[in-house]
Amino acid sequence: MNAPLRPDATPRLEDFPYRLSDNVRFADLDPNQHVNNAVYATYFETGRVTLMKDRSYGLMPDGVTWIMVRLDMHFRAELRWPGTIEMGLGVVKFGRTSVTFDQVVFSEGKCVASAQSVSVLLDEATRKQLERGRMVTELMKQPQYQPLQVWEMALTLFAVNNGYFDDIDVKKALAAEKSMRDYTKTKYASLVQRMEEKKDLSAEDEKALHEAIKDWKKSGSF
């Protein structure tokens, strides 16, 4: 799977052992009627993900995932619709917990873009921690002059840390959080009062919180 380094830095598709083809889509175009530069990141992602999920290469063992941490792209020529592309990919460096790929996109025999990417290996537990961290960051965005009450912050952190937001898109998180607060405040008023007054969670309160959040999710009110 190695991609050889060429001294003249001119990519050749035949130098890349892993290849796949795709179509240029009309939606890929920008107002100037050529493929938007941002779309190339999607082309390169398609190549990486397809390779990593190919079980024959053993890059995706059970319980782990790859996260891209760096992508350097070089735009070499315009690409227009309609048309087809050929993507090539090869491993430049394979470390203990990271892999570096060289990638190219060709059309009609010409290299229109090249890239080098670095991905790191994460186990499922670490990945979930990172995703939950992103979720908490989003949910803790407070409107100016509208600070959250203690019970509201405790409810949100409890829900995220216990996985109740794992299946909720980050873009919909704030709306879901508001729905959860409103539901809990209405249906579990005594629990909200205890949380606000005691500023701590007893074992009984934690059990009640699980019940409240599960009821909220069952209600489908978000």
- Whether domain 13-123 has CATH 2.60.40.1120: the reply is no
Using one digit for the tens of pLDDT, what is the confidence trace for 50-100?
Answer: 888 887 766 666 667 777 889 999 999 999 999 999 999 988 888 877 889
Whole-number Å distance between alpha carbons of 33 and 83: 13
Confidence at residue 86, expressed as pLDDT on a 0 to 100 scale? 95
Helix axes 150-161, 173-187, angle to 10 degrees: 120
Q: In this predicted structure, what is the pLDDT of residue 124? A: 65
Each residue of 93-137: pLDDT tens digit? 888 778 899 999 999 999 999 999 998 877 666 667 667 777 777
As annotated, the residues of the chain forming the CATH 3.10.129.10 domain(s) are 13-123
Tens digits of residue pLDDT in 27-51: 999 999 999 999 999 999 999 888 8
pTM of the complete model: 0.56
Mean pLDDT across 137-164:
79
